Amino acid sequence: MASTNTTEIVKSTAPVLKEHGEAITKVFYKLLFKNHPEMMDIFNMTNQKKGDQPKVLANAIFQYACHIDKLALLGDAVESIAQKHTSLSISKEMYPIVGENLLKAIKEVLKDAATPEIINAWAEAYNDLAVIFITREEKIYSEREQLNGGFRNSKEFVVVDKIKESDVITSFYLKRKDKTPTPTFIPGQYTSISINIPGHEHKYTRNYSMSDCPSKKHLRISVKKEKGNPDGIVSNYLHTNINKNDSLNLTMPSGPFTLKESKKPLVLISGGVGVTPLISMYKNNFLNGNRPVIFIQCVLNSKVHAFKNEIDKYATKNTKSIIIYSDPLTLDNINNHNTFKGYLTSKILNKIDIKNESDFYFCGSKPFMINTMNILKELKVNKNQINFEFFGPSEKIAY
Ligand SMILES: Cc1cc2nc3c(=O)[nH]c(=O)nc-3n(C[C@H](O)[C@H](O)[C@H](O)COP(=O)(O)OP(=O)(O)OC[C@H]3O[C@@H](n4cnc5c(N)ncnc54)[C@H](O)[C@@H]3O)c2cc1C
Ligand code: HEM
């Protein structure tokens, strides 16, 4: 627990942190990768180039500075970060490395304003925060190790099947190479894959959600081929170069985006490849709970529409499947009953008789998530019934 003096100094420097937070975290990452190039194996360097990750870290540090005297308020944030860290096998030995480079970055950006007193206070505060994370992460590691098929760090899995789900999404079915049991997980969780790509100096690490429900048979991930300039490195490599009988290194599934205990009807809303954690929840609900569920899939058109048959196969009289095509093909049957054209709107939700006392879970691109949140707000859905996950650095969406 930080001393009163440290608490006061850290709180009083919070506004400075807010102002210079992004600059500090950018310098921090530059120093970290220069002094410890092996860290490039675990960080998503695309998020670094786009600047998303420094913003998220800066915000986390700022929030910590503001709440240093009431850390309990950081609970959910700590849990979400700890889940991300454990998916990446972050170890306690890495904390002093990060701390040292963070303090150097604070000194470099704040210059003379970073007096020895301020630096010492931040060193103490960082150590306290590190202890909170290390303790929680060790607990998660050891709990996961106890699970059926559980393990620490990463293990080799073999691709037992590779199935094309749409023009852009392909599923990989995975089993432990050493034939030990397939690990269990909670639907909505994700793994990390670390991969060497020939011709590239560093490994690449990426998260992929479990797209099937837990089963003894396999784990399944479903990957969208990311196009752009440049094309997505790992997703395209997986599509093109990873085939049946090839191996991939995976960590135990982690993540806080899981169904909360409730009997309320479920509304699952996916945008594009954001369907993966939701189809896992949907299939698991069919097998183990059967809450009434409405599954709304928003996609461009039928060419890129994955899992249509699978969702239909697991439908019951309690299930409704709705499709919204933003750019339908002529053959796509828009009937304004269960298949609509355009983007998700409150009008569509009213038409399909969504109850606003339902629990809502959604995942997709950032514009899709912002639109969905605005609609739920318009429908006066209670904030604590709204759950979502970003396929990138976690961000807040205004409610
Ligand atoms: C919790 C979680 C779960 C996820 N689950 C899934 C899942 O189930 N299925 C799935 O397909 N994905 C999932 N993802 C996303 C996945 O982790 C990868 O981010 C995705 O596959 C893209 O990785 P990549 O290496 O192919 O692309 P990257 O090489 O990282 O590129 C990503 C995008 O950025 C663009 N880009 C690259 N370099 C730059 C640059 N310098 N400036 C600007 N733009 C650039 C690329 O064109 C591309 O569009 C998940 C992510 C998270 C965090
Ligand atoms: C107290 C110290 C730390 C804080 C406050 C912190 C905070 C964060 C936050 C806010 C995120 C983003 C989470 C998300 O997007 O869901 C994150 C992700 C991450 N953290 Fe930490 N972290 C700390 C320590 C560490 C350490 C010691 C490491 C080890 C190298 C580390 C490695 C990572 C990595 C690799 C990611 C994922 C980033 C990516 O996808 O590029 N963190 N951390």
Please report which confidence band the pLDDT of residue 123 belongs to, taking 50, 70 and 90 as the band edges.
very high
Range of the domain at 305: 266-389
Note the ligand closest to the C-alpha atom of 131: 2
The verdict on the CB of residue 56 being under 6 Å from ligand 2 is: yes
pLDDT of residue 108: 95
The verdict on the CB of residue 94 being under 6 Å from ligand 2 is: yes
Phi then psi for residue 322, to 5 deg, are -120, 140
Q: Is residue 398 part of a domain?
A: no
Active site residue 314: no
Closest by Cα among 275, 278, 323, 277 to 296: 323
pTM of the model: 0.96
Residues whose beta carbon lies within 6 Å of some atom of ligand 1:
46, 49-50, 190, 206-209, 221-224, 226, 228-236, 273, 276, 391-392
Active site residue: 124, 137, 165, 389, which one?
137
Domain shared by 128 and 214, yes or no: no
Domain shared by 168 and 133, yes or no: no
Domain shared by 142 and 8, yes or no: yes
CA dihedral 237, 243, 245, 247 (to 10 degrees): 10
Q: Is residue 60 part of a domain?
A: yes
CA distance linking residue 170 with residue 158, whole number of Å: 16
Q: What is the CATH number of the domain that holds 68?
A: 1.10.490.10
CA distance readout (Å), 15 to 10, 56, 352, 385: 10, 16, 47, 32
Q: Which of 202, 228, 251 is the last residue of a domain?
A: 251
CA distance linking residue 223 with residue 217, whole number of Å: 19
Please report which confidence band the pLDDT of residue 112 belongs to, taking 50, 70 and 90 as the band edges.
very high
Closest-lying ligand 2 atom to the alpha carbon of residue 132: 1
**Whose alpha carbon is nearest atom 38 of ligand 1?**
46
Active site residue 395: no
Q: Give yes or no for residue 228 having a pLDDT over 80.
A: yes
Q: Is residue 259 part of a domain?
A: no
**Whose alpha carbon is nearest atom 42 of ligand 1?**
50
Domain shared by 199 and 270, yes or no: no
The verdict on the CB of residue 44 being under 6 Å from ligand 2 is: yes
CA distance linking residue 192 with residue 333, whole number of Å: 38
Question: Average pLDDT of 334-345?
Answer: 97
Q: Is residue 256 part of a domain?
A: no
CA distance linking residue 43 with residue 90, whole number of Å: 11
CA distance linking residue 300 with residue 298, whole number of Å: 7
Domain shared by 329 and 367, yes or no: yes
Q: Is residue 161 part of a domain?
A: yes
Q: Is residue 397 part of a domain?
A: no
pLDDT of residue 329: 98
Query: What is the DSSP pairing of strand 219-224 with strand 190-195?
Result: unpaired
Domain shared by 223 and 108, yes or no: no
CA distance linking residue 219 with residue 160, whole number of Å: 10
Q: For the chain, what is the domain count?
A: 3
CA distance linking residue 131 with residue 78, whole number of Å: 12
Closest-lying ligand 1 atom to the alpha carbon of residue 237: 26
The per-residue pLDDT for range 350-380, each reduced to its tens digit, is 999 999 999 999 999 999 999 999 999 999 9
Q: Give yes or no for residue 74 having a pLDDT over 80.
A: no
Q: Which of 221, 251, 281 is the last residue of a domain?
A: 251
Note the ligand closest to the C-alpha atom of 29: 2
Domain shared by 230 and 295, yes or no: no
Query: What separation in Å is there between the alpha carbon of 62 and the centre of ligand 2?
Result: 14
Tell me the three state secondary structure of residue 26. Answer: helix
Active site residue: 64, 95, 141, 208, which one?
95
Q: What is the CATH number of the domain that holds 345?
A: 3.40.50.80
Q: Give yes or no for residue 1 having a pLDDT over 70.
A: no
Q: Which of 146, 180, 207 is the last residue of a domain?
A: 146
DSSP 363: E
**Count of C-beta atoms within a 10 Å radius of residue 154:** 18
Tell me the three state secondary structure of residue 39. Answer: helix
Domain shared by 207 and 330, yes or no: no
Cβ partners under 8 Å of residue 307, min gap 6? 165, 211, 222, 275, 279, 297
Query: What is the DSSP pairing of strand 293-299 with strand 190-195?
Result: unpaired
3-7, 260-264, 331-335: range with lowest mean pLDDT: 3-7
